[in-house]
Structure 1
Amino acid sequence: MQYTTILAALALGSTTAMAHMEMSFPPPLKSKFNSHAKNADYSMTSPLSGVAQFPCKGYQTAMSDTTGEGASVVTWAPGAKANFTVVGGATHSGGSCQAALSYDVGKTFTVIHSYIGNCPTSSGQNFDFTIPSDAKTGSALFAWTWFNKVGNREIYMNCASVTIGAASKKRTISERDTAFSSRPGLFVANVDPNGCHSVEGKDLAFPDPGPDLTGTAGATDTIAGACVAVNGIGGPSSGSSSGGSSGGASASAPAASGSSAPSASSAASGGSTASSAAAAAPIASSAAAGAGAGAAAAGTATASAPASSGTGTSGSLTVSSHGECGARPAPAPAKPSSEPVAPSGISAATQPNTAATDAKPALERVAAELRLATRLRTQRSRHDSSTTQTWATSKVDEPTFEGIEEEERERERGRAGW
């Protein structure tokens, strides 16, 4: 008896754990509600188990079987009203949902309606939305995602094969307040390893819910962590209300707020914010006048960039050998006019070093001349008294004192560096 009771309790617990919520209309791919399904998945009420099941529990591949499991289950017209239905036994106090369309078999999704709070609150609940009037006609993948308010941090997702048919009436510009291409991408959380999760006990406020919204947006405390794309879907975008986590970019690469070309304000006095028209041209802050002359010696290449708007000037930025950008280096100060200038075609290194002589203090040179004159007078006196004895028996001509004096002067100049 006790054994039977335990089995019954386990069975009840298992049923309760599995009986969450699922989309019944439009009938999802592989769902028991889909008459085209060959092998129905009876765990459609379960959340996604991880990256391998994102998106659509992996069933978007059935779209290739256009006459079988991937056959369209409903046709919606652009600009027309439509709805989806959610059934199940555990609403987890509701939460937030999104409805989205994909035209590339689940590689990207564009949100067409967001529901913040009360999604769902009961089994069989219908959720209305409008197909964008400029939605592309043809085969599409419709997705429903749900972030439960209470319980484990989970994401539920079912997808259905649908057809966007011809518009019921001629489209007009006034009906297309927000272009389909400008709508946000699907928000993704609670899927490791995308890095963010919804906060339990709060209705997730999508950072970028799009123009069609049921509920109230703007809460900043419903998402924790910084979201990244999962299988190319979701990721950071502008408008995040909780530390940069968002899924606003519809492209497979995460979108970033602002221009794709980095820019910075000028550091020079009176400088304005500079921005490049070319996405690949980096814009760096300009240095103040006269700064950075020493840094220019490390080998730089100059790359032209448009001047900032409103300055009426143009110029170029300096790109160093390390790939860093900076302002045009200030010109080096002029050399003193006393430095020697090499004649054309001759290296300055081979020129006489007259700068050293010119640079010697006049007083030092006068003192040296006086010392030389004194020494020469002494030598002349000795020469005059000993010339006869020294050179009387010499076989060569007697040198004059003028020659000896000139040799002595040359030696003195050599020692003094004149």
Structure 2
Amino acid sequence: MFFSTTLLVAFAASASAHMRMNNPKPFGFSSLTSSPLEPADFPCKQRPGVYDVTEMNQWNAGETQVIDFLGSAVHGGGSCQFSITTDQQPSESSQWKVIHSVVGGCPSNASANLPNENPDGTEAATFPVKMPDNIPDGQYTFAWTWLNKIGNREFYMNCAPIQVGSGTGKASAASASEALSSLPDMFVANLPSTSCSTAENEDFNYPNPGESLTEGNGAHLGDTLNGAGCDQMTKMGAGNGQIGTPTQPEASQPASSEAPAATSGYAAPPPPNGGVFAPGASSAPAAEPTPAEPTAPVASPTSTYVAEQPSSAPEQPAYSAPPQAPDNSTPSAPSSGSDCTPCDNDGAVVCIGSNMFGLCNRGCAVAQPLANGMSCSGGAVVASVKRSAKFPRAHLHRRHGSSLFI
């Protein structure tokens, strides 16, 4: 018994040591481990509840989101891609289109494990990623993929549901294809490494990273691939080569007689201020006030329970929440309190002091701490000139017209 318990504890510690995406919030976050994918896990780390919506992430066209991670085993960094597909429940047939690539230093260029399990996501590097300006409104699936630099040849992939725009538009397959067709397909390797593997100690240089690219200064770039299965495996991200139509929220809402599941969908359209969906929320007004006079409860033909034997206990009426009057007030803009820095460019990165930043949202940027070794300058999160002696972070520069760098 002691031996089994020890193994379980060791396995849990090992699984938590790897990296997993924290923002945007992945599907089935409570069941998502940080281990690499096995061949049967592709895409999105298949498991029971793989597409349960923990939180619908609002991410509008042209906006920048800061991607961050949890975990400590960064395997010396490596290369990452951030991709989207029009499929809400991706399969092997899904086509993934890359919106940003990072070559070297992802999710950190530390040569050893990070010092903590960083439950708040403050140890690993963060990556500003911009959603292309021309992405049609609708629901997509976002993915982070990672080819590690040091250790076993592995492939990591986490997926998250995202909502672009308000969902009131009528995006077509033609408009989605026009916006996405010029983007490169997601690159896959090391799945398994016996069929196609990258080389250890190389930051893999993607053959087609796309126009939006961040490259780490001093990264040891390489494009070595070994294995008889590379021709087929590296094209897995292309799926069947067909870009679908992003789903609109109205099409996925349950019928009025059905209660939405708490972790598998949502009923409310996205809030107008670009906020986050609350799964299962309802936009219906509250019930009208009822008379003060108590009334006898009315049994429902579909919910009445008939006891097998009579009971002497008096029947108790079912509890109902006190009625609330409809709220006709107009939502107010964010306050200008101490936690708000005024701004006028929604979606932009706002530098707040020397070690804080925020994302502009409806004229307000809420300060967030920067990761170690990072600073905010000129509206961009960048690597600090001063390096840590223990966990150096490479400076990064732009290429191919990238507008953001770390």
Name the larger-Rg structure. Answer: 1
Q: TM-score range by the shorter chain?
A: 0.3 to 0.5
Structure 2 length-normalised TM: 0.46
Structure 1 length-normalised TM: 0.45
